[in-house]
A and B are shown apart, each in its own frame.
Chain A
Amino acid sequence: MSKRFPITFIVVLIAAIIWSIPFWWILSLSFQPNDILQKTTSNTALGFIPYPFTIENYYLLWGQSFFGWFINSAIVAVTMTLLSTILCSLSGYAFARIDFVGKKIIYPIVLAGLMVPGELLFIPLFTQFSNLGLNNSYAGLILPRLAVPFGVFIMTQYYKGVPKEVEEAAIIDGANRFQIWYKIMVPLSIPAMITVAIVTFGFAWNDYLWPLISLSAQDMRTLQVGIALQIGARIQEYMGTSLAGVIVSSIPTIILLIYFQKYLLRGFAIGTK
Chain B
Amino acid sequence: MKSNKDNFFGYIFILPFLLLFFSFLLYPFGKLFYISFFEWNIMAVAMDPSNAIYVGFENYYYLLAGEGVWFNISVFFTPIKLITFSVLTISLYYFYTKEILKNNIGLIFFFFYAYVAYFVHGIQATDNAYWEDDVFWKSIRNTMVMDFFSAYAITFIALLIAIGTNHTGKIYIVIRTLFWATGGVGVAALSIIMVQIFNTYGGITSNFSNFFGFDNFPFFINMNGSRFVVIFATVWWAISLPIMLFLAALQQIPEERYEAAKIDGATKSQIFWYITLPGIARMFLLVSLLQIISHWQIFGQANIMTSGGPADATRTVVLMAYDYAFRDMEMGQGAAVSVLLFFIIGFFVFIQFKTFKENE
Contact = CB atoms under 8 A, between A and B. Distances in A.
A15 B186 contact: no
Contact of B175 (A13, A25, A101, A268): A13
A127 B293 CA distance: 26
A224 B24 contact: no
B207 A42 contact: yes
Given A12-B165, A21-B204, A119 B342 contact: no
A249 B322 CA distance: 25
A258 interface: yes
A52 B202 CA distance: 17
Interface string A110-121: 100101111111
A95 B293 CA distance: 27
A143 B24 contact: yes
Interface of B: 1-2, 5-7, 9-14, 16-18, 20-21, 24-29, 31-32, 34-35, 40, 45-46, 161, 164-165, 167, 171-172, 175, 177-189, 191-197, 202-204, 207-208, 210-211, 236, 240-241, 244-245, 247-248, 283, 286, 293, 297, 299-300, 303-304, 318, 321-322, 325-326, 331, 334-335, 338, 341-342, 345-346, 349, 353
A13 B176 CA distance: 9
A124 B5 contact: no
A14 to B, nearest CB: 10
Q: Which 10 A-B pairs rank lowest in CB-CB distance, beginning with the nearest?
A: A100-B10, A254-B184, A94-B13, A177-B9, A147-B20, A124-B31, A253-B184, A206-B186, A124-B28, A228-B188
Contact of A98 (B9, B194, B293): B9
A227 B188 contact: yes
Interface in A120-159: 120-128, 130, 143-144, 146-147, 149, 152
A225 B326 CA distance: 16
A21, A123, A147, A264: most-surrounded residue (chain B CB, <10 A): A123
A117 B293 contact: yes
Contact of A177 (B13, B20, B45): B13
Contacts of B299: 119, 208-209
Contacts of B322: 122, 209, 213
Contacts of B189: 224, 227, 246, 249-250
